[in-house]
Amino acid sequence: MTSHRKERASGRPFAHRVARIGVFAAGVAGMATAVPAQAATGPAHAAVTSDHVFSHADRAHHTEARDSFTVRQFGSVNAVGVRNQANAVSAGCSVDDHCRSVALSFQIVTVAGERTHLNAVNLSDAANKECTGCQTLAGAYQFVVSTPAPFSLNSASRHRLDDIHRRLDALTRSSLPAAELRKRVDGLAAEVTAVLGDAVAHAPQQHAKPAVTLHRHLDGWPGH
């Protein structure tokens, strides 16, 4: 029996957070209520959102691949809780009759304010259950854009992100080995970071500087 399970938060801290961002109340990130993108302007408010991708492959369904690419623009907020999670499971297959399970989640969040309380959770978990020779990959990528003044992604930035989304769909459903797939997806994540960096370069400037922070967590079998 081969069994593998691992779940942990991203090890990369918010190294470039906007000044004075604090910690939001425990448990908020578990809520699944998203404030619409139209909230990018208007008075400050609290917001929570959760994005989760799950894939399961077994003898009846040898291949399952799912991905998510969401953009959450919250505008001016006093407090925000965001959660991004990817889970992939392969079960009951063998070397001669192997499974492939892929779950990838890209979550982009924009928040504005110099005193925003932020709780961000980013998790992935890949599990093989009696599945020798199976390919299982779970990847969670969370991009947090922090600006002191209200900011919205323009149409050019959204167009570039849409193109990355299409390529993520194609990669997720490809037959690339898990190790190569990880590299390609990391490349797309780098492109997202570049798009967001270009966008905030034109954001209104105040005492605190705009920042883009990536939380990345990958879990896979074979290899980690």
**pLDDT tens across 151-192, in order?**
899 999 999 999 999 999 999 999 998 889 999 999 999 999
Which is more confident, 18 or 98?
Answer: 98
Beta strands in the chain (DSSP E): 3-4, 8-9, 45-57, 63-91, 100-112, 117-129, 135-147, 211-221
Average pLDDT over residues 209-222: 89
Instruction: Using a pLDDT cut of 90, give the percent of the chain over it.
Output: 55
pLDDT of 3 reads 40
Residues 71 and 178: their CA atoms lie apart, in Å, by 26
Decide: 33 and 70 in contact? Cβ < 8 Å.
no
Decide: 86 and 67 in contact? Cβ < 8 Å.
no
pLDDT of 151 reads 86
Which is more confident, 207 or 177?
Answer: 177
Whether 28 has a pLDDT exceeding 50, the answer reads no
Helices (H), 113-174: 155-172
pLDDT of 43 reads 58
Burial class (CB in 10 A: 0-12, 13-18, 19+), 86: buried
Which is more confident, 115 or 102?
Answer: 102
What does the radius of gyration of the chain's CA atoms come to, in whole angstroms?
18
pTM of the model as a whole: 0.79
Per-residue burial over 179-190, b = 16 or more CB atoms within 10 Å of its CB, e = otherwise: eebbeebeebbe
Residues 53 and 45: their CA atoms lie apart, in Å, by 27
Whether 34 has a pLDDT exceeding 90, the answer reads no
Predicted confidence (pLDDT) per residue in 42-66, tens digit = 556 788 999 999 999 998 999 999 9
Backbone angles phi, psi at 83, to 5 degrees: -135, 135
3-state class (DSSP) for residue 130:
coil
